[in-house]
Amino acid sequence: MYVRFCMLNLTFNDINSFKNYINASNCEDFVLNLSNMNIFESIKFVVLSSAYYSQKFPEDKLKCVVNSEDVKSLISSFDVKNLEFV
């Protein structure tokens, strides 16, 4: 059984912390808040985290909050099909 919604406002030191959280979690509806990261860290984190998320929840989308339209535009240029901006 999966929990339908988890607001993820945790601070991760690195992508491995996020990967471990995903592997241990039964939450299939994440909202990942990246608004406190700079543009380069946001891009790196969202591309890698969406890959890990899609391995566990292939039918769901990783919801993401970023700090600007510029970041959203740059991330959207990557072919990340399981990502949704909220």
Q: What pLDDT does residue 35 have?
A: 84
Q: What pLDDT does residue 3 have?
A: 37
Question: In the chain, where are the structural domains located?
Answer: 6-85
More confident position, 83 or 79? 83
Contacts 24+ apart (CB under 8 A), 17-26: 18/45, 18/48, 18/49, 18/52, 19/49, 19/52, 22/49, 22/52, 22/53, 22/56, 23/56, 26/1, 26/2
More confident position, 82 or 3? 82
Residue 5 banded pLDDT, cuts 50, 70, 90: very low
8 and 33 Cβ atoms separated by less than 8 Å: yes
- Percent of the chain at pLDDT > 70 equals 85
Q: Coil, strand, or helix at residue 78?
A: coil
